[in-house]
Amino acid sequence: MHLLPLRMEGCTIHAQGEIPMTSFNSLRRDFLRTGGIGMAATAIPAVSFAAAVKHDKSATNPASSVFNVRTYGATGDGKTLDTPAVNKAIEAAATVGGGVVLFPAGSYLCFSIRLKSHVHLHLEEGSAIIAADSPKPGETTGYNGGVYDFAEPKTEWDAYQDYGHNHWHNSLIWGEDIHDISITGTGLIWGRGLSFGAGPGRPPEAERRGFGPEPPAGAGANSNSPAAAQSSARPPRFSRGDYPMYQAEQPGVGNKAIAMKNCHNVLLRDFAMLKCGHFALLLTGVDNLTIDNLKIDTDRDGMDIDCCQNVRVSNCTVNSPWDDGICPKSSYALGYARPTRNLTITNCWVTGYYELGTVLDGTFKKFAPDFHVPRTGRIKCGTESNGGFINITISNCVFEGCQGYALESVDGALIEDITITNTTMRDLVSGPLFMRLGARLRGPKETTKVGTLKRILISNLVCYNAPQRISCVLSGIPGYAIENVKLSNIYIETAGGGTAEMAKIQPPENENKYPEPSMFGPMPASGFFLRHMHNLEMSHVEIANTTSDARPAFDLTDVERADFFAVTAPRGTDGAFALHGVKDLRIGWSRAAADTTLASVDNKML
């Protein structure tokens, strides 16, 4: 097997799971730094690692506040299963009312680790929790006869989101109905033996629900065979990195790195995560949540923040070429519609540009141009969108080699009061902005109605090398408009090259289709396609094309009350604005078109 090296300040991790040890002074770092985390009702002791050594002499001492997993039998050799020892240490801490479970430098090979209230996991420098190999298709056990905890029984609402969102126990680390918990430290969580979703055992007739758009048959690594290209069945998934593949739905298979359900007062800080399965973090109904300074380099979703309230995400790096990077959701996985609200995302870098593991090891190796990978890697609200996204702010974020922002309400969600500011973007694979109010309506029929998307403010955004085919898309559906959107201080430089034929395209409505920037096909505008909107304002917005583009910069359809102020854009073959069924339009002080006020206009170019 090819080795995937990961340099971690003094050690190298190989795909076999061993960390050759070098000299680590595990007593150097003082645990006082994690004592004052400010979580409500949390009692994390302020103790030094010297105290930890002292307490190791008596694992049963009820006064101990630090529980070293090695004292409870963990070897940290990357070969022995350390799951029993780790869970024993967690139980011991919980039994005395809480404490710190310490992972000194070493490689801890584990199946499911079960979190408890008032217990803090700390990963010392040079430590790694490694997911043991899951059972392969057709097998009942994984590494050394072990398995991950079985997924919870199916519920009547499982049909409203995909398999991964409905289950938490089949994870490397999980907790349910617990509180005052944290995972910190500069170690690594490596989901080596986890499944990233439906694997090679997936039957070809399996339902597509929940996985979103799949690549065409054969669109993957090592997929150039005629048989793959001609297959009309659901296309296979291909391995990601040099790892085996596992079937997520198979009993005993691990599906995600960290999963929490119905928890509160949670802190996740400072550690790195590699190849983490379907989700690096699946956090459902987790309130008072802080995620800070994580580095995630993974083969599907980075972090999914689902039905959570009072959340702070800051200073994180996420490389997720095959799926979303930071993804607030509002699914029906709890059995009812609960919004994600009061959320802040700030100072984060998201990307889909880099080969798996090369962000963490510092080599930053970009995918070869002919390697087919979605390069998703974005910040997205959705797709699961039953409850809503309310009172959210995103600031100071960097996008590279991925898709742009996405705000999606297609299952009845109320998306309201969102601000996005101070964003830089380069080399995107879709337009910088995608807003979709749709009618997929995946939820109980009697209560799931079309939602809202309104009061959205986006400012101070710069984008270089946006794609030619897909511009910014803001689209409601007939009878349901996106409302009250203000865009200001935005500069977008696109690849250009659009043709006059593309300018004639009338994108389909696709009211109940899975929402993606590519869902409408090529766009008739080089900058913004705007449809079914009410009260739109753009000020100090500039569209620039690297090469000549025959399309207008702006295409408006069924838009009422639109103001364009100080807008700069190249004129297409016939102008900069294509207007179809537009009411109450004002353009002023703009280089894109002369000052104009129109009460109503249809099929006109300006």
The stretch 499-510 carries a mean pLDDT of 97
Q: pLDDT for 60-81, tens place per residue?
A: 444 459 999 999 999 999 999 9
The pLDDT assigned to 25 comes to 37
What does each C-alpha distance from 461 to 234, 511, 526 come to in angstroms? 38, 29, 17
The pLDDT assigned to 64 comes to 58
The pLDDT assigned to 30 comes to 38
Both tokens of 423, joined, read 């964003």
Q: pLDDT for 326-368, tens place per residue?
A: 999 999 999 999 999 999 999 999 999 999 999 999 999 999 9
Q: Which residues contact 110 (CB under 8 A, 6 or more apart)?
A: 81, 82, 83, 86, 129, 130, 131, 132, 172
Query: How much is the pTM?
Result: 0.87
The whole-chain average pLDDT of the chain stands at: 87
Q: pLDDT for 84-139, tens place per residue?
A: 999 999 999 999 999 999 999 999 999 999 999 999 999 999 999 999 999 999 99
First-to-final CA distance of the chain: 60
The stretch 564-584 carries a mean pLDDT of 94
Per-residue confidence at 573, pLDDT binned at 50, 70, 90? confident
What does each C-alpha distance from 98 to 93, 333, 582 come to in angstroms? 5, 29, 62
The stretch 34-43 carries a mean pLDDT of 35
Q: Is the separation of the CB atoms in 418 and 457 below 8 Å? A: yes
